[in-house]
Amino acid sequence: MSLMFQAKPPVKGEPSYDLWLKEKTAVLDSLNSRAKMIADTFNSMKGFKCNPVQGAMYAFPSITLPPGAVAAAQKAGQPPDVFYAFRLLEETGICVVPGSGFGQRPGTFHFRTTILPQPAALKEMLDIFQEFHRKFADQYK
């Protein structure tokens, strides 16, 4: 015997509807705010472009890497976006997924990052990321 269970939200008029709607709205508003924070921050950084996050938990900013970084990556035997992601992880603890793992167009670089950290933690991460990128760009210009 197989039992099928469906997750159905409460309907208007049921005792839990108002609380459910309030909680659902708060979660969706927070995700929307975090998605905007990610895109706005990356779009304010030199060499970055980030489309609005729509319907996913990830942002895929593209990045223009300085020629020195591309050369250092080649010397290290790594794709440039992997080189960048490893440096970011090693120096800050921030983990992103290099775009070369997603089949990006040759000569372009991007990475995937999540929007899921709570707003205060996300802001802190983005502040650290911005500082890392400034130093990285200066080092490899």
Domain map of the chain by residue range? 17-140
- 96: exposed, middle or buried (C-beta count within 10 Å: 0-12, 13-18, 19+)? buried
What average pLDDT does this structure show over 32-42? 96
Quick one: pLDDT band at residue 6, thresholds 50, 70, 90?
Answer: low
Rounded Cα distance between 91 and 17, Å, is: 47
Residue 56 is predicted with a pLDDT of 82
CB 84 within 8 A of CB 136: yes
Asked which of 4-8, 45-49, 89-93 is least confident by mean pLDDT, the reply is 4-8
The strand pairing partners of 11, in sequence order, are none
> What number of other Cβ atoms are within 10 A of residue 42's Cβ?
23
Quick one: pLDDT band at residue 4, thresholds 50, 70, 90?
Answer: low
What average pLDDT does this structure show over 126-140? 97
The strand pairing partners of 63, in sequence order, are 48
Q: What is the pLDDT of residues 85-126, one digit of tens each?
A: 999 999 999 999 999 988 888 889 999 999 999 999 999 999
Residue 40 is predicted with a pLDDT of 97
Structure tokens at 93: 């603890």
Residue 41 is predicted with a pLDDT of 97
Instruction: Supply the CATH classification number for the domain 17-140.
Output: 3.90.1150.10
Evaluate if residue 13 carries a pLDDT over 60: yes
Query: DSSP states of 116-137 as a string?
Result: -S-HHHHHHHHHHHHHHHHHHH
**Mean residue pLDDT across the chain:** 93
H-type helices in the chain, by residue range? 17-43, 67-76, 80-92, 119-140
Evaluate if residue 64 carries a pLDDT over 80: yes
Residue 104 is predicted with a pLDDT of 80
